[in-house]
Structure 1
Amino acid sequence: MMRSAMVLVVGICVLIFSALSSLASSGRVALVIGNSAYSQVEKIRNPGNDATAIGAALRRMGFEVTVVHDATKVEFDSALSTFSDVAAGADIAVVFYAGHGMELNGSNYLIPTDATLSTDAQATSETVTLDTVLDAVRSVKGLRIVLLDVYRKNPFVLKMKPNGASRSIGRGLAGIEPTPNLLVSYSAEAGATANGVDSDHSPYTEGLLKFLEMPGLEVNFLFRRVSAYVRNKTDGQQTPFEYSSLPEEPVYLSPSSATNLLKLPKLKWFSMRRELGCRSRRHWLAR
């Protein structure tokens, strides 16, 4: 009798943890893009490595991850369109981009690998706007995080010819106004560019990899630590910056065990109770 009871308890625990794992992961999705092999300018080393490492970290955190390397314009657009459908209704959606980008007349553009950008007029047809990326996560019901690791001095800017009208091309990306439940993180503050280093990852990605998976680190403190890491790594030459409008409650990308336990009462208990055949919530907690 005692053995049967123990088997039943173990079986119930397995079902509980399976249910919790499903709840923890099913609403977490991510799109990761790393552009290294540009056809018209010199290849940059880090983005491909950065995308692979960030994708692996997010998978370990329970995200459903799509990683795209060296995206052309068509592939970039297709990835965002597909991700928009996947992310609809998700609890948390993350987009990570590493590669070239630029600001033109106050708008931000991410540059696919097949862009030529002979003139500034081609920006709208050959690149992907940051607004397009934000539109892809607009239907997420919870937190939206966009991480932009825009690289070095943009070689496209140096060779682009003006198309008659006056233009304003800034260094790095322009600032934005975030909407609710959105955090956009730049690898360098607005108007600045990220430093290139002779290592497998950029300083910004190194910082993300160091802190993303740290249990119990609230998201605001997470990005503060990333910023401090990058400043120290680059001797103060590069400082990441965040534009955010986050909920009042603390947000954890990698909750600690204690945090998970505190959230248990918020689960749809009665549905779980019917599935597991427990008589009451109090009885289950006592076990």
Structure 2
Amino acid sequence: MRGVGRRVRQLFFAGVAVVIALLAGVGSAQANKRVALVIGNSIHEHAPLLDEPAADAKLLAETLSRLGFTLSGGAAQIDLTRQGFDRALAEFKGRIADADVALIYYAGYGLNFGGKNYLVPVDAAPAKAADVEAELRELASMLRELEGPDSRQNVVILDALRSNPFAARGIAGLSAGLVATSVPANTLLSFSAQPASVGQRGPYGHSAFATALAEAFASTDRAGLIETLNRAGIAVKRATAGSQQPLLLAAPLGGSEAVGPPRASPAPVVAEQTSKAPANQPSAGPAPASPPPSAPATALDARTPGLAVLYDEDPADPKGKRYDGSVTWRMDTIKSPRSGQPVPAIRAEIDIPDRKLKVSLQLRRNDDPTLPASHVADLTFVRAADFAGGGINSVPGILMKTNEQARGTPLAGLAVKVTEGSFLVGFSNVDADRARNSELLAGREWIDIPLVYTNQRRAILAISKGPTGDRVFADVFAAWDKSQPVQ
């Protein structure tokens, strides 16, 4: 370092190199377009819950995003229903028309029936053989969505070798796992394990296959797609002592796309400027060497309320009426009714201005052994005297859903009216219900609270977690996990 001028030039050229690398991705952004659809189905409405798929999908989405892939839907698609599958695939198909690489990653249940492979939406509930086609999502139809130019490389990765969740229903021919199948042109098809076998868990709450796959994609060199998937398969075989061996099926590929971290582009050669800048005037205007520190969490919470929506039944309009509002999340510290010690709880303050309605929601773990509930939600409604519904007569329960438009999945529990405007929802303490409720509360982004007004009109109050709510839920659930519940 010889002076401020040289330092300025170094910062400037470093910034140029970063911009070039970002624009280049793994090549030129103009010439190499990569699109990925990442799906993880964990919380099923009529099947046992799965621990890893949602976490695996988020891991792969983050990895692929760093490698220059555009994520269809903007993020990992978690807990898709059959309708959600169709919607996600339609968006993906529109995005890959001019792509060089089109990649689908799916983690969840995979089944075979009559020689065909099927993926399982979270709302699937086949009762007989005739239901399979309508309830599940056929793999072959998904592969047909990838038909396109020879220059595009298509990759379908299926971490779907798990037990049959509908075995107890006795549907003849419906079996666990996937079977080897034909592969369309320009397509790689990767199974996490051999047909008719079951994959294994890996470290850190991910499947062994997802862990190996993320590491292979993030490798320090730029290997081809086949080599990358082969590396992942070898890593899985080693990690499981040979008990799990992925399967790779491939048709001849066009194009020559490699994967791996973006290649650093050399800084352009620029003649050094010999003239000095005028006094008190920098020779260039570099960005700061490091970003400013992020705002404290408390300030972020105050500035970023989530979305709340009230949907009122309206006899004059089948669609009802929508009223937008806001929700602010925070972690509360309350006194345990039993021990008197401070314990964490989740607090949401909801405001629907156009309906002159405010709602307070507190979610806490129950430590009162006389109350047969794992958790308790306290709801308090504050309304204007001229509230159109007259008041809140009942709260039938609480549901969780993946997005605002999705159909909610009820939490197992019972709601009771305590006083006028005050309700308590106790969640079931049965082991299976408790596990399912916890998965839904922690994993889904929206909460639906059905309401019945005094005038018998119905409504739904929908609230989003948003980034602040996600963090609050994660922090409080982590705190609950560290402390032992009352037996």
TM norm structure 2: 0.47
Q: Does the residue aligned with 2:166 lie in a helix, a strand or coil?
A: helix
Letter of the structure 1 residue corresponding to residue 239 of structure 2: K
Asked if residue 125 in structure 1 is aligned to residue 118 in structure 2, the reply is: no
Change in 2 beyond 3 A, CA 1:216/1:38: same
Q: Aligned equivalents of 1:197 and 1:224: distance in 2?
A: 18
Q: Aligned equivalents of 1:15 and 1:150: distance in 2?
A: 38
Q: Aligned equivalents of 1:178 and 1:154: distance in 2?
A: 24
Q: Aligned equivalents of 1:15 and 1:186: distance in 2?
A: 37
Q: Does the residue aligned with 2:177 lie in a helix, a strand or coil?
A: coil
The residue aligned with 2:83 is 74
Q: Does the residue aligned with 1:216 lie in a helix, a strand or coil?
A: coil
Q: Which of 131, 138, 146 lines up with 2:156 in the alignment?
A: 146
Q: Say whether the 8 Å CA contact 1:100–1:150 is kept in structure 2.
A: yes
Q: Deviations over 1:107-151 (max 9, x none)?
A: 000000011111122110011111122122223641000000014
Which shifted more, 120-129 or 247-256? Answer: 247-256
Gaps of 5+ in 1: 163-167, 262-283
Q: Which has the bigger relative contact order, CA under 8 A and spacing at least 6? A: 1
Asked if residue 200 in structure 1 is aligned to residue 209 in structure 2, the reply is: no
Change in 2 beyond 3 A, CA 1:286/1:47: same
| Percent of aligned positions that are identical | 28
Q: Which of 60, 63, 66 lines up with 2:66 in the alignment?
A: 60
Change in 2 beyond 3 A, CA 1:81/1:249: closer
Q: Say whether the 8 Å CA contact 1:88–1:137 is kept in structure 2.
A: no
Letter of the structure 1 residue corresponding to residue 166 of structure 2: F
Which shifted more, 153-162 or 117-126? Answer: 153-162
Q: Does the residue aligned with 2:205 lie in a helix, a strand or coil?
A: coil
Change in 2 beyond 3 A, CA 1:17/1:40: closer
Q: Say whether the 8 Å CA contact 1:150–1:172 is kept in structure 2.
A: yes
Q: Aligned equivalents of 2:17 and 2:64: distance in 1?
A: 26
* Alignment root-mean-square deviation, CA: 3.0
Change in 2 beyond 3 A, CA 1:285/1:220: farther
Q: Aligned equivalents of 1:14 and 1:50: distance in 2?
A: 29
Letter of the structure 2 residue corresponding to residue 91 of structure 1: D
Asked if residue 94 in structure 1 is aligned to residue 81 in structure 2, the reply is: no
Report deviation, 1:250: 5.2
Q: Deviations over 1:41-73 (max 9, x none)?
A: 211100010011100001000111132100011
Asked if residue 111 in structure 1 is aligned to residue 117 in structure 2, the reply is: no
| Higher strand content, 1 or 2 | 2
Aligned positions, number = 254
Q: Say whether the 8 Å CA contact 2:21–2:263 is kept in structure 1.
A: no
Change in 2 beyond 3 A, CA 1:257/1:234: same
Change in 2 beyond 3 A, CA 1:120/1:198: farther
